[in-house]
A and B are shown apart, each in its own frame.
Chain A
Amino acid sequence: MAIVELKNVAKNYAQGLVAKGKGDKSSNAVDNFNLVTRDGEFVVLVGPSGCGKSTTMRMIAGLERNTEGAILIDGKDVSQVPPKERDIAMVFQSYALYPHMTVAENMAFSLKLKKRPAAEIKTHVDEAAQTLGIQHLLDRKPRELSGGQRQRVALGRAIVRDPQVFLMDEPLSNLDAKLRVDMRAEIVKLHKRLNVTTFYVTHDQVEAMTMGERIVVMKDGKIQQIDTPINLYEFPANRFVAGFIGNPSMNFLRAKHADGVVSGDGYQLSLDGGHRPAVISRKMVDVWVGIRPEHLRLSDATATNRIQGTVDVVETLGAVTVVQLSVGEHSVTAQLPGHQKVELGDTLTLSCDSDKLHLFDDESELAIGRESTAQPSAAAEV
C-alpha cells in the first residue's frame, strides 16, 4: 500500500535512446502529468490509443524513464530507481507469462529471486491460487491454459508479491466480451480485498467508468480531466471528455447564442441558471451545445426546447431504441424507450431539459458554466 505521486511528469522520446517507431520525436509523449493518489486507491488511465496512458504507466513501473518531473512512491522519489527496486507488480496486456515455467513457477519466480524460503513461497502461491481459483492449474504450462486462465495466472503472479502498487496495462483486452465483464468485477473485488493502490490502463470508457474510483482522461499526452466516474459524466471539463465518456456518445451541435437561447438549423434550446449568466456575461455568440442521447425524449413541435429532424437509422436493442436523425447539418443520436415505434424517414421533435445541456467554448472547447460542486474537478490547463 502506498501513495503514488506524479509531479510535472513528462516523457520525450527524443531525449536519450529513441525507442524505435514510438512516439513523436519533436513533442512530449506525456506532458505535465500531475496526480496524487490516495493510499489504496483504484485509478484508471483512459484515452484513445497514443494518448500516453501506457507510457505513463510504464514510467511508474520504471520501464521507461520520465524525462521531466518526479515520481514518488510513499514520498520517495523513484524516478531513477530501476523497476525491480520499486516494489511494484504489473499485469501486461499480453499476460507475459514465462512460457517455459509452470503456473506455480511463474507465480513463485519473484519470491525465488528474493531468496525467500521454499515453504513461505509455497504458502504465498497457494494462497494466491486459492484467491483466484486456479489451484488445479498450478502444474500446467501457460500454453495449456485458456485466455481467461492465463489472465488469472498473470494476476496471481502480481498478488503473490504483495507489492506496494499494482499496475495493469489493458489486462482484459485480449478476452472475449463475456469473460471481460466477469473479470472486471473480479478485479474490483480483488482490489477491495487487497486494498493496494492500483493503476489501470484501458481505452474502454465502460471499463474505466465501472472500475475506477478516480479516472484520468488523457489525450495527446495531456491530462484532460481527473475525476470520479459520475463527475466525468455530469461535469465534463471539455468537449473531448464529454464525447469520450458515455455510450452512445454525446451529441454536439454548433449553435449561435442570443439572450440565453442557443439555436441553429432545426433546433432551439433555452439555457437555465447554470449556463445563462456565464454565456451572457462573456457575450458569447458561437458555442458548442452538448446533449447526451439518453437525455433526449419525444415531444410535440411547440416545446420550448426542441430539436427537429428526420430519422436516418433505427437500432432496436430491446431495452432501448437508438435513433439517428439529421438535424440541419448535424447528425443527432437519441436513446428512446424500447417500445417506441419509429420508422425511417419520420420527422421527429425531440426535447431535452435545460439543466441537462452542456455548453463548450467554440475555440478552447472548455466547458462553460456548470461545474462539479461535489468534488473539485482537477481540470488540466489545456
Chain B
Amino acid sequence: MRSKRSTNAAMGVLAWIVALLIFFPILWLLLTSFKTEQQAFTVVPNFFFSPTLDSFKAALAQGSGYWHYAWNSALTAIVSTIIGLALAVPAAYAMAFYPNKRTDFLLVWMVSTKFIPAVGVLIPIYLVYSAVGLLDNALGLTLLFTAMNLPIIVWMVYSYFRDIPKDIVEAADIDGASIMQTLFKVVLPLALPGLASTGLLALILAWNESFWSITMTDHSAATLAVYIASFKSAEGLYWAKMSAASVLAIAPIIVLGWFTQRQMVRGLTFGAVK
C-alpha cells in the first residue's frame, strides 16, 4: 500500500518535470514577447522585468502585415481541411464498409507517402507549380496542405467508420436507404465526434505547417510561418518581436484547441472503450 502510494507520488513528480520541460519553451516565448529587445538579448536569464507591449505593437503595426498572413493561414487551413474531409469520407466509406483484398495495401500505401521527407519531393513539386503558376498562390498552398493531410484524414475517418457496426449499415440498406442516404443519415451522424476531431487535427497541422509555406510562397499567399520567419533579417534577430509574432501566430490555434479539447480527446479515444 505504502510502496504503491510512494510510486504514485514519484510518478506525479516525474510527470510535472516532463510537463514543465515541454512547456518551458512556450513560457519563455511568452515572457520574451513582453520584453524589450535589450532585455530579450541578455545572456543571463531574466524572469523579472517590467512588461511592455512594444513588441506586440510592432508585430501588429500597419506595415507588418500580420492580418494578411493570418488570413492566408486561416484560408488555406480551413479550405484544405474541408477538401480533405470531402475526399476522405467517400474513400474511407468504401474501404470501411466494402473492403476488398486490396484495401489493406491501399491504406498502407497511402500512409507510406508520409514516410518520404517533404524535401525529397520539393524539386518536382516546385517545378510543376512554377510551370502552372501556382507558386505564391493560396490555391496552390491549399492543394499542398490537402495532399499532405489526406492520408492522415483517410486513416482517421476510416478507423471511425470501422467502429460503426456493419449491421447498422446493412440495416439501412434493407430499410431502403441509398448509399448517400446511408452516409448522411446514418454513418456521418454516428461518426460526428470522430470527424470533428479529425477536422481539428487537419486544421492544426495545416495551420502549423512551415516547410511548404516558406518554400512555396513569398508574399501574396504567405502564411504566419513566413511572417515569423521574416523577423530573422540580415541585420540580426529581433528576439522580442519574433516572440511576439510567434505568440500571435500560435494564439488562435491554442485558443481553438483549448475550447475543443474535450471534443478532441473524445474523438481521439473514440472506440477505444466500448
Q: When chains A and B are docked, how far (Å) is the Cα of A62 from the Cα of B175?
A: 12
Which residues of the partner chain A approach B98 to less than 8 Å between Cβ atoms? 17
Q: Helix, strand, loop or mixed for chain A's interface? A: loop
8 Å CB interface, A98-148 against B: 98-100, 109-110, 113-114
Which residues of the partner chain A approach B165 to less than 8 Å between Cβ atoms? 94, 96
Stretch at the interface among B166-174, B213-221, B256-264: B166-174
Q: Nearest CB to that of B192 among chain A residues? A: A100
Q: Is A240 among interface residues, defined by CB-CB distance under 8 A?
A: no
Q: When chains A and B are docked, how far (Å) is the Cα of A306 from the Cα of B165?
A: 56
Q: Is A242 among interface residues, defined by CB-CB distance under 8 A?
A: no
Q: Is B236 among interface residues, defined by CB-CB distance under 8 A?
A: no
Interface string of A13-30 (1 = CB under 8 A from B): 000011110000000000
Contact present for B100 and A84 (CB under 8 Å): no
Which residues of the partner chain B approach A89 to less than 8 Å between Cβ atoms? 174
Contact present for B174 and A84 (CB under 8 Å): yes
Q: Is B177 among interface residues, defined by CB-CB distance under 8 A?
A: yes
Contact present for B167 and A84 (CB under 8 Å): no
Q: Is B99 among interface residues, defined by CB-CB distance under 8 A?
A: yes
Contact present for B171 and A99 (CB under 8 Å): no
Q: Is B25 among interface residues, defined by CB-CB distance under 8 A?
A: no
Q: Is A230 among interface residues, defined by CB-CB distance under 8 A?
A: no
Contact present for B175 and A84 (CB under 8 Å): yes
Contact present for B190 and A90 (CB under 8 Å): no
Q: Is B271 among interface residues, defined by CB-CB distance under 8 A?
A: no
Would you give the shortest CB distance from A116 to chain B, in whole angstroms?
A: 11
Q: When chains A and B are docked, how far (Å) is the Cα of A64 from the Cα of B168?
A: 15
Interface size class of A (residues with CB under 8 A): 20 to 34
Would you give the shortest CB distance from A165 to chain B, in whole angstroms?
A: 11
Which residues of the partner chain B approach A62 to less than 8 Å between Cβ atoms? 174
8 Å CB interface, B166-221 against A: 167-168, 170-178, 181, 185-186, 189-190
B167, B176, B178 interface centre (most CB from chain A within 10 Å): B176
Which residues of the partner chain B approach A20 to less than 8 Å between Cβ atoms? 99, 101
Q: When chains A and B are docked, how far (Å) is the Cα of A45 from the Cα of B171?
A: 20
Q: Helix, strand, loop or mixed for chain B's interface? A: helix
Which residues of the partner chain A approach B171 to less than 8 Å between Cβ atoms? 90, 92, 96-98, 157
Q: When chains A and B are docked, how far (Å) is the Cα of A165 from the Cα of B266?
A: 41
Which residues of the partner chain B approach A246 to less than 8 Å between Cβ atoms? none
Q: Nearest CB to that of A95 among chain B residues? A: B167
Q: Is A63 among interface residues, defined by CB-CB distance under 8 A?
A: yes
Which residues of the partner chain B approach A161 to less than 8 Å between Cβ atoms? 175
Q: From known contacts A20-B99, A98-B186, A100-B189, infer whether A88 and B174 are also in contact, taking CB-CB under 8 Å.
A: yes
Q: From known contacts A17-B100, A18-B101, A20-B99, infer whether A96 and B170 are also in contact, taking CB-CB under 8 Å.
A: yes
Would you give the shortest CB distance from A320 to chain B, in whole angstroms?
A: 40
Which residues of the partner chain B approach A61 to less than 8 Å between Cβ atoms? 170, 174
Would you give the shortest CB distance from B6 to chain A, in whole angstroms?
A: 41
Q: When chains A and B are docked, how far (Å) is the Cα of A92 from the Cα of B175?
A: 12
Q: Is A83 among interface residues, defined by CB-CB distance under 8 A?
A: yes
Contact present for B176 and A114 (CB under 8 Å): yes
Contact present for B167 and A96 (CB under 8 Å): yes
Interface string of A209-246 (1 = CB under 8 A from B): 00000000000000000000000000000000000000
Contact present for A83 and B101 (CB under 8 Å): no
Q: When chains A and B are docked, how far (Å) is the Cα of A100 from the Cα of B192?
A: 11
Would you give the shortest CB distance from A15 to chain B, in whole angstroms?
A: 13
Q: From known contacts A17-B100, A20-B99, A100-B189, infer whether A90 and B174 are also in contact, taking CB-CB under 8 Å.
A: yes
In the complex, the 6 A-B pairs of residues with the closest C-beta atoms, listed nearest first: A96-B167, A110-B175, A96-B171, A84-B176, A113-B176, A92-B167
Beyond A17-B98, A19-B99, A98-B190, 17 extra complex contacts between A and B, CB < 8 Å: A17-B101, A18-B101, A20-B101, A61-B174, A63-B173, A84-B176, A88-B174, A90-B170, A90-B171, A90-B174, A98-B168, A99-B168, A109-B172, A109-B185, A110-B176, A113-B177, A113-B181
Interchain Cβ contacts under 8 Å between A and B, 19 examples: A17-B100, A17-B101, A20-B101, A63-B170, A63-B173, A83-B170, A83-B174, A89-B174, A90-B171, A96-B165, A98-B171, A98-B186, A99-B190, A109-B172, A109-B177, A109-B185, A113-B181, A157-B171, A157-B175
A positions within 8 Å CB-CB of B: 17-20, 61-63, 82-84, 88-90, 92-94, 96-100, 109-110, 113-114, 157, 161
